[in-house]
Every structure is written in structure tokens, then in C-alpha cells.
């Protein structure tokens, strides 16, 4: 299917309600949220678990989320190693998300505290800008994680190519981009608000990443499960998770 360029204006500033968005991620109560979480967390786990190699060189990392960017300090490596993300992966429950294995309220508080300590700064980020973090200036990071963001932020394929180039400037040479998102999606709903998205496909992603100066190390994908096809809150056809290294 030919990709279509999105024309609608950006609606995030006025209409995106993060707390409503989180309704997707009510564990075991929302098939779409479960599908996304299980796919992504399985691959985050495989990427960052001890011995996977990638965690080792990450002294600092950036996480692109909800239009902001979190920055982790050199302490991050130790903190991540302590967290469940680095634990063993169970194929049936890749992130340890099943209700039976949910930790107690105290344990969650402990985890929350650990995450808060690991995050050193939260900065506004706009991937459409040449310098996404301006006016802030950070030293180049070892890694950058962006999840379900590019297709939401970029109105056109050219904007998406540019955004990858902009994100690249935040990484040190040899640094890693961990990028996930949806295929062929044109919109998603948050409550009664509709957010347009840019339909992406694998061919475009591979070309755009190469053009932006990244070398893809792995690209995982999954087709949308048939049981979620009747859910008309979004129209993605599949999901991807990739790791790419900043080339010379």
C-alpha cells in the first residue's frame, strides 16, 4: 500500500491528555494496550538484559516520551541493572506483567523511587526542530529511546526523515537509537480526541534510517492480532521495535 502524507495540524499541545492515554495500558483489561506492552517490553528486555551488550556502554541515555525527554545520569547503568528490566525474560510474560506476578504496593513505591532517582532531568523535546532540546544543551548521549512518537509527531515522510536526523545529533558517535512504533497507522483515539499519525512501513524506515546515518542492528516486528481488529480506536497493522547505531 502506498504511504500517504498526513496533512492535519498538530493537536498535541491542546488536546493530548496523558492520563487518558494511559487507559490503554491497564494491564489485562485492554487488548490493544496489552499487545503493545507485551511486544515492546519483550524487546526492551531482550535489548537491555544483562549480557545483551547494549546496556554495558550506556552511561547516559535519553528517553523520548510525551513530548519531553528524560535524561539518565552515569548512575543509570547501575540503576537499570537493579531494575526488573534486566531480569530474565519469560516468553509468556516478557515483562513480568501478569496480575499474579504484580508486586505489592510497597514494591511499586520502591520501583517508582528508583526510577525517579535514575532520571536526572526532564526536558521539553520537539523532534521537528533541528535541535530538539533547545534551548537546553546536553553532552551527546550513549543511547536514546523513542516509543510510538515519530509517527505521532511527524506530519510528512520528509518530516520523519528530518526527525531521525535531528535525533541523531543527540547521540555520541557509535551511540544507539532504540525506536519503536506502529506500522500503517493513520490515527489513534485518546478518549474522544482523535490524533492523526503518519503511516510508516518497513521499507521507508530502513531507507530513512540509513539516509539519516544509522546502521540498523535489529528490527523486530509483529502483525496486529486479529482479536484487536474490531477495536476502532486506532488502525495500525503492526508494530516494530528496532535498535540502530549512529554511523560515522
Ligand X SMILES: C[S@@+](CC[C@H](N)C(=O)[O-])C[C@H]1O[C@@H](n2cnc3c(N)ncnc32)[C@H](O)[C@@H]1O
Residues that bind ligand X (CB under 6 A): 12, 16, 65-67, 125-128, 147-149, 152-153
Residue 58, beta-bridge partner list? none
Q: How many Å separate Cα 242 from the centre of its chain?
A: 10
CB of 189 to ligand X, least distance (A): 11
CB of 147 to ligand X, least distance (A): 3
Give the cell for residue 188.
Answer: 489513534
Residue closer to ligand X, measured from CB, 12 or 75: 12
Residue closer to ligand X, measured from CB, 147 or 248: 147
Give the cell for residue 116.
Answer: 525517579
Residue closer to ligand X, measured from CB, 67 or 96: 67
User: What's the DSSP call for residue 84?
Assistant: G
CB of 138 to ligand X, least distance (A): 15
CB of 222 to ligand X, least distance (A): 15
CB-based contacts of 128, cutoff 8 Å, min separation 6:
153, 154, 159, 162, 163, 166
Residue closer to ligand X, measured from CB, 56 or 129: 129
Residue closer to ligand X, measured from CB, 13 or 104: 13
Give the side-chain half-sphere CA count within 13 A for 244: 28
Residue closer to ligand X, measured from CB, 9 or 51: 9
Q: What are phi and psi of 199, to 5 degrees?
A: -70, 125
CB of 25 to ligand X, least distance (A): 7
CB of 82 to ligand X, least distance (A): 23
Rounded (10°) angle between helices 202-211 and 157-168: 40
From residue 135, alpha-carbon distances to 10, 123, 129, 132, 174 in Å are: 21, 10, 11, 9, 25
Instruction: Give the three-class secondary structure for 225.
Output: coil
Q: CA angle at residue 63 from 62 to 69, to 5 degrees? A: 85
Amino acid at each position: 500500500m502506498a504511504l500517504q502524507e498526513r496533512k492535519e495540524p498538530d493537536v498535541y499541545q491542546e488536546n493530548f491528555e496523558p492520563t487518558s492515554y494511559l487507559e490503554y495500558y491497564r494491564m489485562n483489561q485492554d487488548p490493544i494496550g496489552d499487545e503493545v506492552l507485551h511486544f515492546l517490553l519483550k524487546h526492551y528486555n531482550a535489548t537491555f538484559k544483562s549480557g545483551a551488550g547494549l546496556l554495558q556502554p550506556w552511561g547516559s541515555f535519553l528517553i523520548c516520551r510525551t513530548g519531553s525527554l528524560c535524561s539518565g545520569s552515569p548512575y543509570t547503568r547501575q540503576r537499570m541493572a537493579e531494575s526488573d528490566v534486566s531480569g530474565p525474560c519469560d516468553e509468556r510474560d516478557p515483562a513480568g506483567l501478569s496480575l499474579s506476578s504484580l508486586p505489592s504496593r510497597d514494591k511499586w513505591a520502591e520501583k517508582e523511587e528508583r526510577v525517579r532517582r535514575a532520571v536526572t532531568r526532564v526536558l521539553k523535546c520537539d523532534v521537528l526542530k533541528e535541535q530538539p532540546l533547545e534551548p537546553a544543551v546536553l553532552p551527546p548521549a550513549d543511547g536514546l529511546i523513542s516509543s510510538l512518537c515519530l509517527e505521532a509527531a511527524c506530519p510528512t515522510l520528509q518530516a520523519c526523515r528530518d526527525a531521525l536526523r535531528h535525533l541523531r545529533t543527540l547521540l555520541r558517535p557509535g551511540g544507539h537509537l532504540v525506536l519503536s512504533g506502529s506500522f500503517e497507522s493513520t490515527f489513534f483515539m485518546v478518549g474522544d480526541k482523535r490524533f492523526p499519525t503518519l503511516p510508516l512501513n518497513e521499507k521507508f524506515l530502513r531507507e530513512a534510517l540509513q539516509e539519516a546515518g544509522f546502521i540498523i542492528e535489529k528490527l523486530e516486528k509483529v502483525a496486529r492480532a486479529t482479536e484487536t481488529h474490531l477495536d476502532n480506536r486506532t488502525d495500525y497493522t503492526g508494530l516494530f521495535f528496532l535498535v540502530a547505531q549512529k554511523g560515522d
